[in-house]
């Protein structure tokens, strides 16, 4: 099927080949061809998705579409307090003019880090977009029925489209407490590289940002890579997760959003679009390779009066081939459908577009809705809608309708110039709202812990989620009292004794109250004064909520407290422990216990989950962590062990045997037992 500009551009139909999917425009059909002069057809052999409305796989997405269900919801409290930002006037700086959008129902913080050989310490710094895309890639390969051993070492490319960077921007707001893995956890380049690394893929690995068309551009480049022979298989993905209101404020100023928070694509009611979340992956192969191995496309509607004609016009310039025909010609379209049903084997589609053809259903949209806004522009698309809706039987072939959003989309999207200089609403109201508190240096306040103020107000699910993570909650009046006491005076740092007295005066969990104090502070004053002289970077076994990057100063406070109480805080003394062992095997076990304890603290993995029979690599130990472990071994065991030896694949018990053989802390008598 080929919308075309003129008959001279239309290729002659070829009934001997199934042209399953092409995103090449008619104007460029002379490149990337197979030997017979035709464009190489591309098949999609696997897919996965997680979309709003509970559409956690393609089947659920299709059921949602067929049921005409809306995935719209108010902005979840777990993302940000939308009420604090809402204002109906889009030109009001620091505000957003919508109250809802399309958000994933599932907990985006849940991630099986150990499955992907990533330590919890690294996982907490990884943008959920990276985590979800990695999981989605695995699910797509599983859907394709391709075992991991066949993927490893293959010439498979990865192309991922992404636009949002909320998570990294949130981490960068407190650079003094930036997590170790913030750079790799939030770098756009790493989004695709992480997939290539985990699956051991040898093809190109590219992350790209072309705004709304990023995933479609990724699909286009992946097809190019396959057609040029650069790669044999391609993994194509796209992801978007919304964590903060910053970008939405800028987009509101540019009037991007529909006032209702809903998108009316190809409709006369189009007045803007709605932001949404999701992640999806497709696995591409050349069609002949897919058939040999036995192993759809959706129009991108902007929902704007300016954008929709461009998108529909893009469809009219793109060659989409099964049997080539003019979709504006009903007779030609019907003939192609009949011929495909008669001659072609079943082929699955791309998440939405392909399934539309398979089930002979098009989106629930009346002909008049299309005509009102775009009658002169989308005759071919209207014909597709009418023909597929009228079809009596399923059409078992693959088709892609390609939007050229990356080429003819909204050119203004790259010109965001509005700044996000607003303060957190509660901090601004309570800390800056009165003259007596006007000089308090509060940057942000973690609303998750404040009852009755914004984040958890009238939202039971949000409050339960926060309690699960250890935030027991505090009344906002008490919170302001804590901040005022902690700061003492606007510009005079408090001393360690002041902090200690403050903590002792509280009737609740002191660890939690210290969290409450530190989380609301965007300056160094009070906490840095308290930790003067404390060794940086030390970590301790504390309640799990303490392993938040924002609480690193509090870990140092405990370090300082341990020193003041006479302890050195260095943990177990390996040399002293070896004095009481009577065999080399016992010394090896003692050393293994020490090593497991160290790994548990560094990787933030519960000690009970570590297995001495596995290598360090099984727990996501990278070169940075390996260097820290090497330094610890040298400091505690007096053994200079190369990093490559730690990462060489030996089990933890085998490493301990090697260390014990070399350590001067293990007596010669014990080492002699091995000879």
The yes-or-no verdict on residue 371 having pLDDT over 90 is no
DSSP one-letter string for 98-120: -SEEE--SS-TT---GGGGT--H
Check: CB of residue 258 under 8 Å from CB of residue 244: no
Task: Count helices and strands (H / E) in the chain.
Answer: 30, 9
| Mean pLDDT, rounded, for 134-154 | 93
Structure-block tokens of residue 172: 């960068």
Q: For position 304, what pLDDT does the model report? A: 55
Q: For position 140, what pLDDT does the model report? A: 94
Q: What is the pTM of this model?
A: 0.55
The yes-or-no verdict on residue 547 having pLDDT over 80 is no
The yes-or-no verdict on residue 543 having pLDDT over 60 is no
Distance CA 185, CA 182 (A): 5
Distance CA 307, CA 271 (A): 10
The yes-or-no verdict on residue 6 having pLDDT over 80 is no
List C-alpha distances in Å: 299 to 213, 352, 389, 442: 11, 10, 17, 46
3-state DSSP: the chain helix, strand, coil percent, rounded to 5? Answer: 45, 10, 45
The yes-or-no verdict on residue 301 having pLDDT over 80 is no
Q: For position 333, what pLDDT does the model report? A: 63
Residue 608: is it exposed, middle or buried by C-beta count within 10 angstroms (0-12/13-18/19+)?
A: exposed
Residue 241: partners with Cβ closer than 8 Å, 6 or more residues away? 104, 108, 127, 128, 129, 132, 164, 166, 167, 277, 279
Question: Nearest-CA neighbor of 557 among 518, 594, 589, 595?
Answer: 518
Hey, what domains does the chain have and what are their CATH numbers?
425-564 (no CATH), 574-672 (1.10.1200.10)
Q: For position 441, what pLDDT does the model report? A: 28
Can you say how many angstroms the Cα of residue 250 is from the centroid of all Cα atoms in its chain?
21
Residue 568: is it exposed, middle or buried by C-beta count within 10 angstroms (0-12/13-18/19+)?
A: exposed
Reported as a pLDDT band with limits 50, 70 and 90, residue 108 is very high
Can you say how many angstroms the Cα of residue 194 is from the centroid of all Cα atoms in its chain?
12
Q: For position 585, what pLDDT does the model report? A: 84
Q: For residue range 256-291, what is the model confidence (pLDDT) as tens digits?
A: 888 877 887 767 777 888 899 999 999 999 988 887
| Mean pLDDT, rounded, for 303-328 | 48
DSSP one-letter string for 244-260: -SHHHHHHHHTT-B-TT
Q: For position 279, what pLDDT does the model report? A: 97
| Long-range contacts at 141-147 (CB < 8 A, ≥ 24 apart) | 141/46, 141/199, 141/235, 141/283, 142/46, 142/48, 143/46, 143/47, 143/48, 143/58, 143/283, 144/45, 144/46, 144/283, 144/295, 145/46, 145/295, 146/45, 146/46, 146/283, 146/295
Reported as a pLDDT band with limits 50, 70 and 90, residue 167 is very high
């Amino acid at each position: 099927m080929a919308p075309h500009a003129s008959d001279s551009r239309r290729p002659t139909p070829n009934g001997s080949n199934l042209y399953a999917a092409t995103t090449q425009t008619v104007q460029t059909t002379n490149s990337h061809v197979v030997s017979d002069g035709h464009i190489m057809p591309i098949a999609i052999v696997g897919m996965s998705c997680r979309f709003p409305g509970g559409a956690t796989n393609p089947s659920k997405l299709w059921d949602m579409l067929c049921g005409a269900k809306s995935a719209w919801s108010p902005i979840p409290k777990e993302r940000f307090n939308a009420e604090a930002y809402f204002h109906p006037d889009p030109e009001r700086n620091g505000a957003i003019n919508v109250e809802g959008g399309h958000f994933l129902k599932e907990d985006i913080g849940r991630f099986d880090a150990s499955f992907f050989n990533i330590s919890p310490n690294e996982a907490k710094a990884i943008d959920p977009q990276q985590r979800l895309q990695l999981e989605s890639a695995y699910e797509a390969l599983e859907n394709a029925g391709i075992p991991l051993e066949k993927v490893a070492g293959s010439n498979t490319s990865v192309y991922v489209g992404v636009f949002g960077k909320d998570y990294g921007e949130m981490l960068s707001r407190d650079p003094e407490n930036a997590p170790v893995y913030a750079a790799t956890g939030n770098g756009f380049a790493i989004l695709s590289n992480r997939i290539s690394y985990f699956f051991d893929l040898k093809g190109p690995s590219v992350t790209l940002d072309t705004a709304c068309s990023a995933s479609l551009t990724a699909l286009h480049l992946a097809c190019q890579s396959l057609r040029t022979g650069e790669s044999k298989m391609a993994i194509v993905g796209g992801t978007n997760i919304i964590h903060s209101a910053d970008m939405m404020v800028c987009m509101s100023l540019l009037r991007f959003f529909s006032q209702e928070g809903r998108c009316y694509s190809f409709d006369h009611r189009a007045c803007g679009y709605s932001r949404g979340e999701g992640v999806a992956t497709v696995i591409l192969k050349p069609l002949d390779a897919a058939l040999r191995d036995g192993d759809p496309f959706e129009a991108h509607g902007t929902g704007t009066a300016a954008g929709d004609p461009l998108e529909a016009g893009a469809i009219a310039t793109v060659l989409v081939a099964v049997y080539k025909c003019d979709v504006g010609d009903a007779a030609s379209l019907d003939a192609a459908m009949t011929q495909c049903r008669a001659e072609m084997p079943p082929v699955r589609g791309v998440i939405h577009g392909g399934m539309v053809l398979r089930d002979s259903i098009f989106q629930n949209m009346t002909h008049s809705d299309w005509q009102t806004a775009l009658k002169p522009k989308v005759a071919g698309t209207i014909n597709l809608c009418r023909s597929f809706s009228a079809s009596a039987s399923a059409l078992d072939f693959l088709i892609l309708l390609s939007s050229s959003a990356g080429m003819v989309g909204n050119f203004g999207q790259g010109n965001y110039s509005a700044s996000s200089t607003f303060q957190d609403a509660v901090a601004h109201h309570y800390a800056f709202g009165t003259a007596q508190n006007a000089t308090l240096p509060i940057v942000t306040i973690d609303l998750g812990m404040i009852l009755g103020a914004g984040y958890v107000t009238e939202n039971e699910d949000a409050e339960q989620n926060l309690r699960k993570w250890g935030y027991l909650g505090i009344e906002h009046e008490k919170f302001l009292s804590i901040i005022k006491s902690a700061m003492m005076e606007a510009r005079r740092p408090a001393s360690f004794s002041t902090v200690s007295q403050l903590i002792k005066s509280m009737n609740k969990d002191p660890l939690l109250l210290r969290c409450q104090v530190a989380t609301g502070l965007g300056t160094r004053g009070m906490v840095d004064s308290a930790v003067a002289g404390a060794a940086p970077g030390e970590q301790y076994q504390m309640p799990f909520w303490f392993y938040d990057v924002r609480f690193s100063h509090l870990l140092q406070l405990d370090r300082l407290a341990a020193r003041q109480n006479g302890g050195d805080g260095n943990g177990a003394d390996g040399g002293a422990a070896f004095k009481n062992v009577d065999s080399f095997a016992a010394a090896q076990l003692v050393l293994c216990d020490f090593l497991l304890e160290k790994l548990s603290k560094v990787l933030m993995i519960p000690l009970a989950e570590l297995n001495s029979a596995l290598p360090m690599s099984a727990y996501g130990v990278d070169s940075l962590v390996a260097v820290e472990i090497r330094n610890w071994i040298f400091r505690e065991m007096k053994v200079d062990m190369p990093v490559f030896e730690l990462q060489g694949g030996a089990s933890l018990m085998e490493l301990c045997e090697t260390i014990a053989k070399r350590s001067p802390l293990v007596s010669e008598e014990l080492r002699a037992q091995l000879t």
